[in-house]
Every structure is written in C-alpha cells, then in structure tokens.
Structure 1
Amino acid sequence: AKDADGAVGKLQIIADPLDATIKRVGRFGWRGTSATVLQQTSAALNSDMGVTSAMYPTHGCGLATDGTACRTADAKGAELSEQDVELIVRYASLLAVPAARHFPGQQPLGTPGDKVTAQTPAQNAAELAAENLMQARVKRGGTLFAAARCVACHTASLTTGEHKFAELRKQVIRPYTDLLLHDMGPELADNYPQGVATGQEWRTAPLWGIGLLKTINANTRYLHDGRARTIEEAVLWHGGQGEKSRERFKALSADDRQQMVDFINSL
C-alpha cells in the first residue's frame, strides 16, 4: 500500500463454481475471473464455444432468440465428460514456457531447420557479434525496465505453491506479473466490471513469451482489445497506476526506449 507510484493492486476473489463456500484467488482471464485452469477451460468451452461440461452444464440460452432448442440441448446433459475436460486441463497446465532469449548462456533465437547451410567463419563471427550486441541491449533494457518501475506490477519472479502436478510445485517462475488487478485509467476502460474489478481495472498481463507471438500470428496485436500494434504502443496506452512508468518511458531517448522493448521481446 506504500508503493511510490500508487501502483497498489488488489485481489480478485472467486467462488468455486461447484461449491460457493470455497474461495480462491482469481489468476486467469483479463480480470482474473477464473481461479483455476479447470475453471478457465470450462468457462471458455461454454461461453466461447457453446460446449457444456460438469462445471458449466447449461448453455447461455437467454441470449438466443428462441431458446427452445437450447433448453432441449441442456436437458441431454453435459456434452464433454469430466475425463475429457481433465485431459484438456492437463494439456494446458503442462505446456512448456518459452525460454527467454538473448541472455548470457542462452541459445540465440531460433534453431536450425532440416536443411543446415554451411557458413563461413566470417558469417559465424558476424552472427556471434550480433548476438553479443543484442545480449548487451537486453541487459540494459532490463535495467531500464526496472528503473521505470514497470516491475511494480510486472513482477519479475514468483514462487509457485502446492499443485497436483509435481512438476509445478515450488517452482521459481518469471512470468512478469503480480496477478493483481490494477486501475489502468479511463483510456483503457471498457466499462464492463467483473467481480471486484471496475471497468478500468485489469489483471497485470504476464509478459513471458510475448516476443514470440509473431511466430504464431503475423497479425499480432497487444492489450485486451488489440488496439496496440507494437510493444511501444502498448506501453504508451498505460494510464492510471501505470502512468508514472509510462512517463519515465517517454522521457528516455529513442534508443533507450528500443532497448527496453528489446528486453520485453526477449522474455
């Protein structure tokens, strides 16, 4: 509560959909409206795809012009078995996190394909020099990122707790999020409050893997509504509790701003 920039986050507390007496911290979704991977998966199946499961056994029939067919479908029971949902949850939970790039000791971005082209010593030396330069830029970008106090919300590391999968227990992870809700100002508001989150409060988005988005989607956009075309635009849209960090970013030289972007893209 004593953060120098007033970047004080708050928890989204979620009742378990199957037992309202059980309360958990919301960690998934733009406003932390799901507490577990099971809840996030079941909610996405239901509201995004119209597929029912044990957790959400009915469709959104009230949204249909004629709900008769919808209610008839509901009467048949859940469309996905608990076993099938568990397989999806297990898959999503155990997906590997992309490795950070351009840090000392890390491999350069990309791996050789099936066809490896022989390179001259000069080409190898040029690639090594370019990688060393990028490592230096990423290191300085990380220092600038911390100096701008972006880490007040995009916390560099967290330690996991207990988990049903042994691989995920007591692990130091670096997602660059505090998983808390922060007021990002009226510019980013959508006026759609959810739980304890107002229409201009958002869960801090994790940054790990963000630099690899373009490898799976050439039309990559940023922020909750895709309004930002670049990382720099996304930073400049920060308001509210992120305003002071944004102003520090704006005050940097063009090359320093790019080095901070290089750092974010390396995560």
Structure 2
Amino acid sequence: MKTESSFSSARWIIQKALPVSAIFAVAACTASDAPVSAILPGEAIPALSDVNRGRFLLGRALFERIATQDEGLGPLYNQDRCSSCHDRPTVGGASSASVRVLKATRFMDGRCDRLEALGGDNIQLRVTELFAAHGFGAEEIPLEATASGYVTAPSLFGLGLIEAIPDSVLLSIADPEDRDGDGISGRLPRMADQRSARFGRKGDAASVEDFVESALRFELGFTTPRYPEEEARNGVPIPEGVDPMPDPEIDAETLGLLTDYVRFLGAPAPEFLGRGPAADSVSQGEALFDQIGCTQCHRPELRTGNAEEPVLRDQVIRLYSDLLLHDLGNGAGDLCGSDALPGEFRTPPLWGLRYREHFLHDGSVTDLVEVIDRHSGEAILARVRFQGLAPQAQMMVLRFLRSL
C-alpha cells in the first residue's frame, strides 16, 4: 500500500525541523541587516519581506533534506538531496567535479533529439533498494545517442535576479544574424511553448520553477503536479510495486518553497568594492577584459524589470553574461539542447567565479588560462587578443576574474 510522504507538503520541515514562529523571528531580525553589496555565498537577497525570508529558510531546509524511497525518491535517480549537487562553496552553489550528471542526446539532420522516448537525456545511475530487488538496474546510454558526456551542476546564486530580466533586454542585445558584422551572433533560445530559455548550460529552462522541477524529476526521481507519471527506464515504463508513494510525490507547496529558496538566493558580491592598490589592479584588469572583447558576450550589467518581489525589481545586476546562446566552434561531438546546436552554449554568468574550483560545462579544467584557450568560434578574436597581451596584462585580467 502506498503511504503518505512526509517530504511532500513540507510537513517534515514545518512540524519537525523548525517552528514557523522561529522562522519568522529570524526573518524579522535579519531581513534588512546586510547591505546589497556584501552578500556572501548562500545568503538570501537582503531586504526580503519577512514572509519571503521565511519561505527561503523553509526551502533551504528542504533543499538539504535527504529523501528516501518511502518519500518518493526514485526509483531511478542520481542524488538523494538537492544540496548533493549544489554545495560549493556552500549550499546553493555549484557541484564539485566529482559530482556530475551523465547526459546523452542525438543530433541528426540539424535537429536535437533529447531521447525522451528512451528515458530522456539525463541518464540516471542509481536505483532504490526496492527497484533493485525487482531485478532492475541503472539506465544506460541509448545506442541511438550521437553524443554523451558528464556535466557539472551550475551555481544557483542570483537566479531570481536573472529570471527578473525582461525578454526585451535580452532581445535588444541578441544578434543572431550578426548584422553588425562583429563576429558575435548571440541568440535567445526558446522552449517548445516559445518562452525564452535563460537557464541551464544550453538554455533548457524558462523559469526558476522549471529549473527546480526538472531537477526534482530527473535527479531525484520525484513526480510533480505537472508531471505526475514516473520517468521510464530507458523508455520502458516502471512496473507496479516498485514505488510506494502516491503521485504526485511533490506537491505544489513543496515545489513553491524550493523554488522560492532558489529564487531568493543572492548573487555574491565582487571581492573588491572599495579603493586601494588591490582594487585598482582589479579595475585595470576589468578594463583590459573589455578592451579585448570579452564583454561582447560577458556583459557586465543587465537590468531587471518590474518583478513582483520588490528586491528583484529594477535592479542593475553585475552578472557578466548576456544569457544568450553562442557558437563556440568546437562542439561537433557535444550534447545538443532543446534549442541549442552541439557547439552552442549559453554565456555563463561570471559572478562568484572566485569560488569555483572547476570550469567549463564538464568541470574538466581547473586553470583559467586553459578556459580562455578553449574558447573558439564567436570567441576566437577575444581569445587571440588575450593571448597577445603582455604577461603582466594577462595577469591583470586573471586577477580581475578571480575577484568576481
């Protein structure tokens, strides 16, 4: 018999983890204490309303909670809690290079097939004890795939601010036909329903809620209100008797709390905000970063629009990204995305870069110079210009990047 989940509806958090009165007491005394320019990794955006700070804290507790098969985990999954993939340098950050997701796609005749008929592009490598007891193992890379590989989980810092940027801002800087002839042809990817997709390595999610719901489904194996059916194992439906929880295993309340936790995660402030020799050196590196053309894609600033939450509204945010897809020229065998060719990648925001230990989508590089050397396609001129700088000037650029 299927039992009722203590994970769904956030009941475990509300009744056992921390009383709601305590949550809002914390919210009341911390909501406006921290200045916007002093956000540490993992903190909420300052000046949140008491209600939303309370939701942030409840969502964080869920984010760190270990799920079990009796609560709906699996039967196919990769990790048993959200923070397993988002813990560097703290909860809400990126993953380490050792915690990666295996993905596979098929690209034929100019079209991307995310292999949904064969279980989807996320290859789930773990199974619950109950599923294993019925003789089932992990998913395998479909033979139909033309590309497969591991990817790291991105940092979640500042995603609510990114969500609050209007499409009109991104469309104003997109230039898919390269009409200005500068060699940069960024384009805004679209979902099947034509919403703009600004999240994910390949631009595969349109909103923070979409991003969170996708992780719940494909990484933890939960069913959700919009997707109440279990994922199939390489396209073969899950048999009866291997999943004890009624569907959907995650209800709207729990999804909302997790979404608000991610939405209200602050963006880390740069290391140097004042003046002095160190800050001056960083400023010189930033000027060189602009001069060699890096800011054509890694745009320093974008402005949010008329967001519902006041702290997200009409903010100039220094994310160093245009959030557009660009052809980096070296992706013939790479994974494709819903609206992304194998060689196309969304420009990753650089805020919080100093906290990262591994770079690129697969976490295979630890040296920033090598990261720059890997840039090709639309980024080749910026790369060549960096390589042509004097060693001292290159060091200034790197010092700037390590200050973000």
Interval of TM-score (by shorter of Structure 1 and Structure 2): 0.7 to 0.9
1:265 and 2:402 aligned: yes
For structure 1, list consecutive stretches of 5 or more residues without a partner in the other structure.
Answer: 106-131, 214-219
- TM superposition shift of 1:266: 1.3
**Please, which of 176, 194, 201 is the counterpart of residue 337 of structure 2?**
194
1:63 and 2:234 aligned: yes
- TM superposition shift of 1:89: 0.7
- TM superposition shift of 1:64: 7.0
- TM superposition shift of 1:235: 1.1
**Please, which of 280, 298, 306 is the counterpart of residue 162 of structure 1?**
306
Write the deviation string for residues 207-259 of structure 1: whole angstroms up to 9, x where unpaired: 0011123xxxxxx2100011211222111110100111000011112221111
TM, length-normalised to structure 1: 0.79
Work out the CA distance in 2 between the residues paired with 1:74 and 1:55: 20
- TM superposition shift of 1:4: 4.8
Work out the CA distance in 2 between the residues paired with 1:14 and 1:236: 31
Aligned length: 227
For residues 197 and 9 of structure 1, do their structure 2 counterparts lie closer, same or farther at Cα, with a shift above 3 Å needed? Answer: same
Contact kept? 2:231, 2:237, Cα under 8 Å: no
Work out the CA distance in 1 between the residues paired with 2:312 and 2:259: 14
TM, length-normalised to structure 2: 0.53
DSSP 3-state at the match of 2:305: coil
1:90 and 2:260 aligned: yes
Work out the CA distance in 1 between the residues paired with 2:293 and 2:243: 51
1:24 and 2:167 aligned: no
- The residue type paired with residue 57 of structure 1 is P
Contact kept? 1:141, 1:256, Cα under 8 Å: yes
**Please, which of 377, 388, 398 is the counterpart of residue 240 of structure 1?**
377
Write the deviation string for residues 36-86 of structure 1: whole angstroms up to 9, x where unpaired: 00000000111111122113323321427773148x649931111110110
**Please, which of 340, 365, 382 is the counterpart of residue 228 of structure 1?**
365
Work out the CA distance in 1 between the residues paired with 2:240 and 2:376: 45
**Please, which of 343, 347, 350 is the counterpart of residue 207 of structure 1?**
350
DSSP 3-state at the match of 1:68: coil
1:12 and 2:193 aligned: no
For residues 257 and 55 of structure 1, do their structure 2 counterparts lie closer, same or farther at Cα, with a shift above 3 Å needed? Answer: farther
- TM superposition shift of 1:100: 1.0
- The residue type paired with residue 46 of structure 1 is R
CA RMSD, aligned part only?
Answer: 2.1
The structure with more helix, counted as a fraction of residues: 1
- The residue type paired with residue 300 of structure 2 is A
Moved over 6 A (4+): none
Work out the CA distance in 2 between the residues paired with 1:55 and 1:261: 44
Q: 1:32-111 alignment to 2 at 5 Å?
A: 32-63=203-234, 67-69=238-240, 73=243, 76-105=246-275
Work out the CA distance in 2 between the residues paired with 1:184 and 1:36: 25
